[in-house]
Amino acid sequence: MLGLAVGLLTSAYAPKRGDLERATDLFRLFREQPTPELAESARAGLAESLSPNERLQRAYHPCTSYVIVPLFALANAGIEISSEFLARAATSPITLGIVSGYVLGKPIGIVGTTWLVRRLTRGRLRIPVGWAALAGTGAIAGIGFTVSLLIASLAFSGLELQEAKLGILSSALLASLLAWMIFGLTTRLSPPRRTRALLGTAETLIDLAVPVEDNRDHIRGPADAKVTLVEYGDFECPYCGQAEPVVRTLLHNMGDLRYVWRHLPLTDVHSNAALSAEAAEAADRQGAFWPMHELLLQHQQELRPVHLVRYAADLGLDVDRFREDLRRHVGAARVAEDVDSAASSGVAGTPTFFINGHRQYGPYDIATLTAAVKHGKGSGGARRAG
C-alpha cells in the first residue's frame, strides 16, 4: 500500500523546454571551462529538468538493484539448507572446486597475469593502479551469481546441483569478505604507503603529447626562450577572451618566454569556433595570423563569415583570396591536427595551458601564470616543449 501511495503522489511529466534550455546553458559553461563548481551546477540543472518520478526511480535504484533483487534471488535459489547437506557439501569436490576457483583462482589469476606481463615486457606495460587495488579488484571478481547459477543448472542436476549452488553463493560471500579485508588492511597503512598501494607509482599522462615545432606552430617570443607556454584555445570561448590580456601581459613582462597558440574549437557549444580557427589559418597564409588572432578574441560575439571577411579587409589582406580560402576550408586540416594533439594530451576544455610541456592546473590569472612561468624558468627549461 505504501508503494502504491508513493506512486500516486509522485508526478511524472516530460522535461519542460525552459528547464532543458537552462540545463543546456549550465552544461555549455562547464564544456567551456570544466571545473568542479561548474560540474556540480550542471549536474543539479540536469537533475532538476527531470520529473520527480524519474528522480525517485534513480534515488531508489541502488536499494532495489543491490539489496532487494539479490535478496529475492537468494530466496528463490532453491537450496534446502540442513546440517546433513552442509556437512556433505563441505567435503564435496564440486563445492570446494567452485569456492577455490572463485575465491582463490580469480585474484591469483588477475594479479599473477598482470605481474607476468609486466615481467615479460620489462616494465614497459604497467598497471595504472597499485597492487592493493588490483588484488582487491581480483577478489571482487570472485563474486559470481546469476550466470554461474545458469551454467551450474546446465552442468549438474539433483544433489550435485544443490552443492554447486551452495559453492557459488559461498564464493560470493567469501570473495566479498576477502575484498573487504584487502581494502581494510590498506586503509591502515600510512598515507604515503596507502597512496602507492592504491594508485601505484605510474605517472599520470599530463604532458604535452605533441612537442612544439618551430616551422609549424604559431609562436610568439624568442626561439631560444627557456620557457614555452602553449595554449589550446577557442576563439569563441569567453574564458579564452579573458586569458588573452593575461598572456599579453606575460609576454610583455617576461622577456624569456615564447607563447604558442593551438586550436581547439569546441564545435558542440560554439557554432562559429571552427570557421574562426580556419579564418586565422587563412590570415596566416598571408602572414597575419597574430593580428587576426587578436581581432577574433576581441570580437567574440561577431564571428560569422561576414565579420571574418571584414576583419581581413581591416588588416589589409587580399579579401578575395581570404574568402576563397574560407570557402574551400583550406585551414581545416591544420586545425584538425591541433585538435588531435589536444586529444593526445588529454585536453577537453579551453583554455588549457602547458608550461615547458607540463600541464598547468588551476586559475590562469596573471599572478598564477607568472609564478608558473618563473618556476619553469627556474628549473632551467629542461622540459622545454620543442
pLDDT of residue 246: 94
- CB burial string 100-123: b at 16+ within 10 A, e below: eebbbbbbeebbeebeeeeeeeee
- For residue 13, pLDDT beyond 50: yes
Higher local confidence (pLDDT), 49 or 208: 208
Percentage of the residues of the chain whose pLDDT score is greater than 90: 46
Contacts of 230 (CB under 8 A, 6+ apart): 208, 212, 259, 260, 262, 353, 354, 355, 385
Peptide bond into 351 cis (omega under 30): yes
User: Would you put residue 107 in left (φ > 0), alpha (ψ -120 to 50) or beta?
Assistant: alpha
The Cα-based distances of 178 to 98, 138, 173, 223, 312 in angstroms read 16, 10, 9, 58, 68
Cell output for 258: 615564447
pLDDT of residue 382: 43
Kindly indicate the confidence band of residue 383, based on its pLDDT and cuts at 50, 70 and 90: very low
Instruction: State phi, psi for 326 to the nearest 5 degrees.
Output: -65, -45
76-121 per-position pLDDT tens digit: 667 777 788 888 888 899 999 999 999 999 999 999 999 998 888 7
pLDDT of residue 1: 66
Contacts of 169 (CB under 8 A, 6+ apart): 74, 77, 79
For the chain, domains (ranges, CATH) are: 2-75 (no CATH), 83-199 (no CATH), 218-378 (3.40.30.10)
- Rounded Cα distance, 18 and 39, in Å: 20
Q: State mean pLDDT over 153-174.
A: 87
Question: Which residue blocks in the chain are alpha helix, DSSP H?
Answer: 2-9, 17-32, 36-48, 52-63, 69-75, 83-90, 93-99, 106-120, 131-140, 146-155, 158-187, 191-199, 238-253, 273-284, 289-298, 305-314, 319-327, 332-344, 366-378
Contacts of 261 (CB under 8 A, 6+ apart): 217, 218, 231, 233, 293
225-278 per-position pLDDT tens digit: 999 999 999 999 999 999 999 999 999 998 889 999 999 999 988 999 999 999
- Rounded Cα distance, 110 and 113, in Å: 5
Please give the biggest Cα pair distance in the chain: 96
Q: Coil, helix or strand for 280? A: helix
